[in-house]
């Protein structure tokens, strides 16, 4: 029989958690053959609500769900974990500025990085969804010196999926006809979807649309989609964020035939400075990813990519100043 894969999820009682856990337990993350052991971390006051979520998980009678553990101690919940989905973070409250948010959330990721370093399995893969995702992933990585750096990723797959869906809608084609689309940079409004290397059938996407549409409509609409959802739904994107989290970790574990967007530690490719976790087009196979090499970037793309990388360098400087890395 298959041994279960241990998947740790933080912020499990939150909005994203409520969608994520049921998809994982039904087999969307690991495929239809592999049982999963869930290890769910929350803050103490949320454990009661999390017990309710576990009752519902039980009530689904998922055949692949081997076990569920919950707790507020990171070293216990990360023990032996093969994959960690770090979703839990503090939302920005009224009166908090960006540096307050970096500081409050940064402390979560110093502790969780250290705990992963101590107790996770040797093959641990870590994906940070909680915002500011790229810099939180950097903080966790810097606090986990024994885990190979490339095991720390951040989520830009939601931006990737949004960009793909929006382009498909504009061109009136199926999303499956769009290939090689990638998001570059930070998961914030500076992220850059490159349509100059995106293929739609035999065409390049940028040849099928006006340049003005790309610059004035498409890029800003993708970048501000999160805000548009809050306005419409009265709450931030949750099911789509959970779906993207699963897409990213699924492809990292099991591979993909397509180029996907992953925020990974920069190796200096395309002039993106080392020392930050930035989104790149990646290929994934056999549990390993590679940044796609040899792409031609036009001046506009280069400018936008480096501008987004600059945001990440500034965030890095801010958390260095706070003593978090
Ligand atoms: P939420 O507020 O509903 O849930 C967050 C949960 O994290 C809460 O239950 C909270 O108790 C828990 N938490 C806080 N500190 C924790 C800690 N130290 N350890 C364990 N759990 C902790 O928020 P939601 O909507 O589920 O979003 C979670 C995060 O994901 C937010 O930071 C949000 O900004 C981010 N996000 C990122 C996206 C991306 O594309 N990268 C997309 C959408 C959301």
Residues 198-217, mean pLDDT to the nearest whole number: 97
CA 136 – CA 322 distance, rounded (Å)? 13
Protein residue closest via CA to atom 16 of ligand 1: 88
Tokens of 146: 């024994």
Tokens of 176: 């499956």
What is the ipTM metric for this complex? 0.99
Closest CA to 183 of 210, 162, 213: 162
pTM of the model: 0.98
Atom index in ligand 1 nearest the CA of residue 133 equals: 41
Atom index in ligand 1 nearest the CA of residue 187 equals: 41
CB 117 near ligand 1, within 6 Å: no
Protein residue closest via CA to atom 36 of ligand 1: 130
Atom index in ligand 1 nearest the CA of residue 238 equals: 25
CB 38 near ligand 1, within 6 Å: no
Residue 1 pLDDT > 60? no
Residue 239 pLDDT > 80? yes
Closest CA to 228 of 187, 189, 173: 189
CB 14 near ligand 1, within 6 Å: yes
Supply the residues annotated as catalytic: 187
288-321 pLDDT, tens per residue?
Answer: 999 999 999 999 999 999 999 999 999 999 999 9
CB 46 near ligand 1, within 6 Å: yes
CB 237 near ligand 1, within 6 Å: yes
Among 5-14, 112-121, 224-233, 259-268, the minimum mean pLDDT is found in 224-233
Atom index in ligand 1 nearest the CA of residue 88 equals: 7
111-138 pLDDT, tens per residue?
Answer: 999 999 999 999 999 999 999 999 999 9
pLDDT above 70 covers a percentage of the chain that reads 100
Tell me the CA–centroid distance for residue 213 and ligand 1, in Å: 33
Residues 173-196, mean pLDDT to the nearest whole number: 97
CA 2 – CA 81 distance, rounded (Å)? 16
CA angle at 49 for the pair 233 and 240, rounded to the nearest 5°: 35
CB-based contact 125:253 (threshold 8 Å) = yes
Closest CA to 176 of 208, 155, 200, 195: 200
Tokens of 25: 């337990």
């Amino acid at each position: 029989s298959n041994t279960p894969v241990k998947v740790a999820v933080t912020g499990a009682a939150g909005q994203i958690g409520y969608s994520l856990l049921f998809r994982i337990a039904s087999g969307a993350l690991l495929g239809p053959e592999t049982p999963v052991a869930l290890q769910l971390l929350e803050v103490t006051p949320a454990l009661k609500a999390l017990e309710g979520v576990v009752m519902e998980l039980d009530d689904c009678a998922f055949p692949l769900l081997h076990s569920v553990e919950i707790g507020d101690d990171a070293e216990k919940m990360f023990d032996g974990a093969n994959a960690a989905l770090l979703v839990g973070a503090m939302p920005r409250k009224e009166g908090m500025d960006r540096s307050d948010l970096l500081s409050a959330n940064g402390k979560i990721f110093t502790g969780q990085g250290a705990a992963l370093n101590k107790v996770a399995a040797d093959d641990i893969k870590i994906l940070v969804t909680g915002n500011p995702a790229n810099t939180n992933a950097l903080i966790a990585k810097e606090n986990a010196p024994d885990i190979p750096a490339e095991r720390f990723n951040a989520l830009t797959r939601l931006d990737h999926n949004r960009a793909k869906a929006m382009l498909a809608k504009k061109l009136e084609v199926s999303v499956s006809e769009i290939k090689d689309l990638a998001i570059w940079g930070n998961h914030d409004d500076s992220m850059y979807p490159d349509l100059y290397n995106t293929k739609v059938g035999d065409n390049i996407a940028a040849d099928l649309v006006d340049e003005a549409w790309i610059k004035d409509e498409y890029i800003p609409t993708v970048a501000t989609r999160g805000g548009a959802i809050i306005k419409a739904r009265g709450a931030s994107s949750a099911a789509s964020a959970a779906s993207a989290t699963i897409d990213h970790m699924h492809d990292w574990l099991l591979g993909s035939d397509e180029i996907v967007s992953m925020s990974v530690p920069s190796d200096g490719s395309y002039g993106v400075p080392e020392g930050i976790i930035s989104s790149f087009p990646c290929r994934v196979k056999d549990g390993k990813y590679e940044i796609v090499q040899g792409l031609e970037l036009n001046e506009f793309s280069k400018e936008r990519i480096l501008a987004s990388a600059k945001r990440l360098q500034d965030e890095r400087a801010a958390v260095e100043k706070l003593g978090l890395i």
